[in-house]
Structure formats: structure tokens, C-alpha cells
Amino acid sequence: MKKVDIIFDCDPGHDDVVALLAAVAHPEVFNILGITTVAGNNTLDNVTNNILSVIDHLEFDIPVYKGYATPMRRDPSPAAGHGKTGLDGPVLKPPSSKPQDKHALDFLYETLISRDEPLTIVAIGPLTNIGVLLMTYPEVKEKIEKICIMGGGIYTGNVTQKSEFNLWHDPEGAKIVFRSGVPIVMSGLEVCHAGGILHTEYVKLEGRGRASQLVFELYDFFSGNMKSKGIDWSPIYDLTTILQIIDPSIFKSEMFSIDIETEGDLCRGMTVADQRPFVKKESLNVEVLMDVDREAYIGMLFDALDILDKRYQ
């Protein structure tokens, strides 16, 4: 397959780290131009330090750019499931690496506007950075091949009954992105749940190598939320955006006409999919991943970690 140039927009976050590891394991597929951070799972400073600590730990060479510390019109609301730091569980050294001086918005704009070929944005946190980019510089739309989003859900939510956390955190930013006309591939809660890792599976990563051990420690903490509810698996939400680029054949998807609700206590951030039988084909603006071959999905994760364990012995 043709190598894919990507920008990784994230709020690390346990699953953000797993997604990054999967991408780094496949340099034949991905050319990671940079990582941009955004407040979501935790504060901007914490999520930026989290990814810098991971980069130092595994000796990656990827520039990091800090983005927005608050949603477009709201106060930030960190996600409880990721702990006090946003990456509780593993004990990582404070980062020696530093973020770049340039703001994420400037990096995104300058990188996109200078390109001859469009690139892919992998957006696995709240869509503040990308929403501001498209609102401020609409001319970059033609430079974006697609935006692969982890967020939303057709039939369910997690932070409320109908709203998923990333889009709930900044629904105004999400609305701009979903209305932009840029092709979107959405990894919502349905496919993320379908690809969940069993608690009996992630424990097999312990002691296998530096990357595998990190993921074991991440999920030994992150799985606590599902274990407390008596559920024997945990989602690896953000990983889906990367694996669907590597091998879309293991996924099932449907096209939907989607807009984002910005108001209400129960439905703020809801991905409102028009499922009426007379929806016009030209209004179908989002490819939504709905299901995945779970065994293949988990196998791809373990294969990626094996590659990294051998690379960083």
C-alpha cells in the first residue's frame, strides 16, 4: 500500500498511547509528521507531558506541538477513567524532551498549506484543534485526504446515555469538523466495543518486552473501570483509527449523514445520525466503522507490540 502521511492529534490517555505504538510499529505504512496535543483526558500540560514521557521511554523521534487547553466555548472536563495524570498506571520518568515552540494550530496550517499531496489527520481526542483549524483556515480542507476520528456513537454513549466523551468535551469543535465536507472515517463506540481486549488477554503482555510491558501497565490500570462493573473486557478506543488504515478489510462500515448536537444535559455532543429511509445519498458525510473481526484486531495489536519489543530491546 502507499505510505500514509499522518498528523496525530491526541489527548494521551492510555488508548492514545496504544494507538501511537501501533502506528510507530509500521513505518512502511505511516510517516508520522508530528503529534499535536489537546486538553481532553486531562489538562493540556499533563497530556503533553504524558506523550513526551512515552516518547522518551521508547526512544521515538517525533515532534510534539501543544494545542488548545480548553474547548472552544466551555471549561475543560478531564475524564476520570484515566486517573489523576491522564496516564496513571505505569511509572514513567518526567520527560526530558520538550514540545516544539510552535503552537499546534500553526504547525497544522503550515504543514497542510505547503503540501502538494493531501495528508490524513488521525484525531483521537476532542476536536478542538481540528475545529479551530478548519474554522480559521478553511482553505486547508483540500489538503486533507481524510480525518480518522475516534469519537461518537450511533446507538450509545459513555459520558452520557447518548454522548461519547471526545465529542461531548468540545461539541462545537466537533460540529465544525463534521460539517466541514472533509471525508471522515469515524471509529465510534460500537466498533471500539466490538474490538475490546479481554482481561485474560492483556495480562499476557507482562514481561514480553519494553513496549508490551508498557501496554500491560497501562491496561492493568485502565481495565479497572470495566472490572468494577463486572465486565471482562476493556475497549482500546483510539487503536481502531490506526488499524483501520493498516487493514480496512477486518472492519465493517456504513455511510451515515451525521451532525453534532451542542446543547442539552443528556445529548450534548451526540452524533445524530439520520436513519430515515429517504436520506439522500449526497448527504452521507461520514463513514462509520460498525464492527470488526475481534481476533484479527487483537492479533494486529500483539504483532505491532512484538515488532516494537524487538526494535527496542
What are the two backbone dihedrals, phi and then psi, of residue 25, each rounded to the nearest 5 degrees?
-70, -15
Burial (CB < 10 A; 0-12, 13-18, 19+), residue 249, is exposed
Q: How far apart are CA 217 and CA 212, in angstroms?
A: 9
With a CB cutoff of 8 Å and minimum separation 6, the contacts of 224 are none
Reading the block at residue 100, the C-alpha cell is: 516544539
The residue with cell 526494535 is: 311
pLDDT per residue, tens digit, the chain (313 aa), is 689 999 999 999 999 999 999 999 999 999 999 999 999 999 999 999 999 999 999 999 999 999 999 999 999 988 878 989 999 999 999 999 999 999 999 999 999 999 999 999 999 999 999 999 999 999 999 999 999 999 999 999 999 999 999 999 999 999 999 999 999 999 999 999 999 999 999 999 999 999 999 999 999 999 988 999 999 999 999 999 999 999 999 999 999 999 999 999 899 999 999 999 999 999 999 999 999 999 999 999 999 999 999 987 7
Cβ atoms 214, 17 nearer than 8 A: yes
| Mean pLDDT, the chain, integer | 96
Q: What does DSSP say about strands 4-10 and 30-37: parallel, antiparallel, or unpaired?
A: parallel
Is 4-311 CATH 3.90.245.10?
yes
| List of residues 6+ apart from 73 with CB closer than 8 A | 172
